[in-house]
Amino acid sequence: MALVTLENVTYRYPLTETPVLKGIHLSVEEGEFVAIIGPNGAGKSTLCYAISGFIPHFFKGELSGSVRVAGREVRETALSEWVTRVGLVFQNPFSQISGAKYTVYEEIAFGLENLGIPPEEMKARVEETLELTGIRSLAERSPYSLSGGQQQRVALASILVMRPRVLVLDEPTSQLDPIGAREVFGVIRAMSQKGMTVILVEHKIEWIAAFADRVIALHEGEILMEGTPDEVLTHSDLPARGFGVSRYTQTARAAAQQGLWPDSLPLPVTLEQAVEGFKTRNSSAP
């Protein structure tokens, strides 16, 4: 049985006429890592809000269809309970840091305080999360004294400490430099390897290819295609519809038109795949 299921989900924001999501059918198994890609305006963030319960509990608008996590329907579950099932990490960590606490340690504990978690359990969970996200050395620092990558790891820790069954990330590295992005992806990879269900919206195609079990291409509020990273990320229809494509896919596609890419191999997404493909071609060339 799928952990997350969306059945015929359509959503329209207040004071708008056109739905942002249109008849979405989606299921995600427990422990699966699903990446969602799409051009700007495709509905990716809105889909994150629907899965995380911000729709309909925060953004009102008009929602039809069913959103379920672990068998519970989002309309029938209070947001305070839903956040213990699904955690959402935003693009900008400033949007997630409360501003009510002086240290990273207190910031991570803030959500548990609001849930009335007993102090001993709270301490144990915060300590565990500091270790898990690699930010123990930052525990006594102010959240506002940190780099972007460090702040995003704090925002991620504040969600993980709640122990959600599903982690939803809406372009968590879009405002980070390469070092910060690597830090955050390292934590996401660790959580995925521990069996957490991850739903990630991201534009970094090579990272998606490296981590995701399945990729869903969203276009104008509808699922255009889904499949393995190699199947979706190299599909010839994507560039014309505004999707980003890996530079290695572009290079290999141009090479294939010149007969310089092995017919037996799929197009690459990552540098490693491209290197292997050209090595294979060169070794078999007359």
What does the alpha-carbon distance between residue 286 and residue 284 come to, in Å, rounded to a whole number? 6
The string of pLDDT tens digits covering residues 73-117 is 999 999 888 988 999 998 888 888 887 889 999 999 998 998 889
Domain spans in the chain, listed from the N-terminal domain onward:
4-245, 246-286
Q: E strand or H helix at 102, and its extent?
A: none
| Sheet order of strands, 4-12 included | 21-28, 4-12, 62-69, 72-73
Question: Which residues is 226 bridged to in the sheet?
Answer: 216
Nearest to 45 by CA among 221, 173, 180, 191: 221
Residue 19's pLDDT is what? Answer: 96
Question: Which residues is 199 bridged to in the sheet?
Answer: 34, 168
Nearest to 95 by CA among 136, 143, 42: 143
Residue 222's pLDDT is what? Answer: 97
Residue 284's pLDDT is what? Answer: 60
DSSP conformation class of 142 = -
- Options 3.30.413.10, 3.50.50.60, 3.40.50.300, 3.40.50.150; CATH of 4-245: 3.40.50.300
The amino acid occupying position 133 is T
Neighbours of 169 (CB within 10 A): 26
Residue 63's pLDDT is what? Answer: 96
Residue 166's pLDDT is what? Answer: 95
Q: How far apart are the first and last CA of the chain?
A: 52
- pLDDT per residue rounded down to tens, the chain (286 residues): 799 999 999 999 999 999 999 999 999 999 999 999 999 999 999 999 999 999 999 998 999 999 999 999 999 999 888 988 999 998 888 888 887 889 999 999 998 998 889 999 999 999 999 998 889 999 999 999 998 888 988 999 999 999 999 999 999 888 778 887 888 888 888 888 888 999 999 988 988 998 899 999 999 999 999 999 999 999 999 999 999 999 999 999 999 999 889 888 899 999 999 999 888 866 665 5
Can you say whether residue 168 is alpha, beta or left, with left for phi > 0 and alpha for psi between -120 and 50 degrees?
A: beta
Total-model pTM: 0.91
